[in-house]
Amino acid sequence: MNIDLGATLVALMTFFGIAALMALSLNLEYGIAGVPNFGQAVFVSIGAYTTAITYTRLLPLLAGKEVIWPCGPTLGPALQLRSEIMRSYPGAGFLNLAITLVIAALVSGLVGYFVSRIALRLQQEWFLALVLLVGGETVRIFVRSYEPVICANNGVSGVAQPFAWLGNPQLSSILFMLLVLSVAALTWVYCERLVRSPFGRLLKALRENAAVTRSLGKDVALARARVMLIGSVIAAIAGVFFVLNTGYISSNDFVVTLTLDIWVMVVLGGLGNNRGALLGALVITILDRLTAIATIQMNMSAIDLEFNYVRYILYGIILLLMLRYRPQGILPEPARTTNAHDLLTDPAPHVADS
């Protein structure tokens, strides 16, 4: 029972680290800069698909083996080769992970950058949200239909996490958890520093009033593109860890509901507050577990309820309650941003609503 609890905790914390990365990314983009990324799933999925490609094409080469086509009739041997390399060539495994992270970050960052530059042509404010949402679905349909990426509908399995060669599942999952948590912690520190930097202040000014910021001679488009670049890099790293954690890459994991999960975390925790994003990620991770346990309990007492259904109903309710009663989130953004309004009007005594 003790071991079980430990394993649950490790799984929980690993997932928290991954969720935290996703939430930090969205908080940076929407919470700080006001760019409504309704296509978060696609940037996470770029990390996942990159992992699929490097672990099937690059890894054998790094280990000095012949590449076996990962789909179709050779699916079995390719899978076997992967697991064997992950078990006995730690060097190749780590190098491959490092390369995967770099490629995923580069691709995702560039996509984020260019999507944001193109999106400038959009007329209404919510069009960007729609383009990102629909763009994500388009990528997913493409990957699902085009075999070479992740073997279409089959997906790619047997992507072991980088410490699998230790031969001790407990130890390797603890090490993996530590790796994920430390990356998340570093990202958090980075985000905090970014928010406090002049660039962070520019982003907040832009969120409050793009026109005024532009009139102050700031390049609004470039600032938005830069923040999308940074956010997309973080999301892609989360995607790499996400599939390393589950060991399986399927396009079905990166649907609109994943994007919504991340939005729920950020709205719950507090838009514009990095600590809020972390809290939101933690609460949602725990809630996920609890609903799973509750569902099992209910099923045992003969109440038949699918876990995912309950979960999404719950998420919907959380979103509505938060937006209705506490739109600033559990941990609101700390200091009120200076906006042009405050600078232009004299400090009139504020009269409370009657």
Partner 1 sequence: MPPALLITSLVHSIQVGSLYALMALGITLTMRVIRLPNFAHAEFVTTGAFTALVVSLFLSRSPVVILGLATLSGALVALSSHLLVFRPMSRRKLSTYSMLLVSFAVGLILRYVLFVLSDYYQLFDKRIQIPLQILVRESYLVLTNITFTIVPVSIACVIALALLLGRTALGREMRALASNPELAHILGMRVERIRSLTWLLTGATAGLAGALWGLYTFVNPLLGWLAILPVFAAAILGGLSSFAGTILGAYLVAFCENTLMQALNHYTGLTFSFKAAIPFVIIILVLLLRPQGLTGFVRRSGDLER
Partner 2 sequence: MNLAVEGLNAGYGKLNVLRDLSLSFAAGQFTAILGPNGSGKSTLLRSIFGLADVFSGSITLDGNPITDLNGAEIVSLGLACVPQRNNVFDELNVGENLQLATRRMDRRETARALEAAVELFPLVAKRRDQPACLLSGGERQMLAIAMGWLSRPTLMLLDEPSAGLAPNLVNDVFQTLLQLKDQGMTLVVVEQNARSALRHCDEVFILREGRLAFAGSAEACLQDEETIKSLLGTGNTGQTLPA
Which residues form the interface with partner 1 (CB under 8 A)?
A: 30, 36, 38, 118, 121-127, 129-131, 134-135, 137-138, 141-142, 144-145, 152, 257, 260, 263, 267, 304-306, 308-310, 312-313, 315-317, 319-320, 323-324, 327
CB of 348 to partner 2, least distance (A): 4
Query: In this chain, which of 193, 196, 326, 341 binds partner 2, going by CB under 8 A?
Result: 341
Task: Please report whether residue 124 would count as binding partner 2 according to CB under 8 A.
Answer: no
Q: How many residues bind partner 2 (CB under 8 A)?
A: 9
Decide whether 84 or 342 has the Cβ nearer to partner 2.
342
Of residues 193 and 341, the one with the C-beta less far from partner 2: 341
Could you tell which of partner 1, partner 2, none binds residue 354, using a CB distance below 5 to 8 A set by kind?
partner 2
How far is Cα 280 from Cα 225, in angstroms, rounded to an integer? 25
User: Considering beta carbons, is residue 123 or 354 the nearer one to partner 2?
Assistant: 354
Q: Do the beta carbons of residue 321 and residue 272 sit within 8 Å?
A: no
**324 — alpha (psi -120 to 50), left (phi > 0) or beta?**
alpha
> What is each CA distance from 305 to 299, 314, 317, in whole angstroms?
7, 13, 17
Q: Which of 2, 123, 124, 345 binds partner 2 (CB under 8 A)?
A: 345
Alpha carbons 225 and 251: distance in angstroms, whole number: 26
How far apart, in whole angstroms, are the C-alpha atoms of residue 301 and residue 290? 16
Q: How many residues does the chain have?
A: 354
Confirm or reject binding of residue 350 to partner 2 (CB under 8 A).
yes
Q: Quick one: which segment of 11-19, 88-96, 257-265, 342-350 binds partner 2 (CB under 8 A)?
A: 342-350
Q: How far is CA 345 from CA 233, 341, 348, 349, in A?
A: 40, 6, 8, 11
CA angle (17 as vertex; 11, 22 as ends), nearest 5: 125
When binding is defined by CB under 8 A, the residue of 3, 302, 343, 351 that contacts partner 2 is 351
301 binds, among partner 1, partner 2, none (CB under 5 to 8 A by kind): none
Q: How far is the CB of 339 from partner 2 (least distance, A)?
A: 11
N-term to C-term CA, the chain: 58
Q: What is the closest distance, in whole angstroms, from the C-beta atom of residue 339 to partner 1 in the complex?
A: 15
Decide whether 38 or 241 has the Cβ nearer to partner 1.
Answer: 38
Contacts for 302 with CB less than 8 Å, ≥ 6 apart: none
Residue 185 or 320 having the CB closest to partner 1: 320
- State whether residue 242 is helix, strand or coil: helix
- Interaction partner, residue 349 (partner 1, partner 2, none; CB < 5-8 Å by kind): partner 2
Taking the complex as a whole, the smallest distance from the CB of residue 208 to partner 2 amounts, in Å, to 13
Residue 11 makes CB contacts below 8 A (sequence gap 6+) with 173
| CB-based burial, 187-204: b 16+ in 10 Å, e otherwise | bbeebeebbeeebbebbb
Return the number of the residue (229 or 262) whose C-beta is nearest partner 1.
262
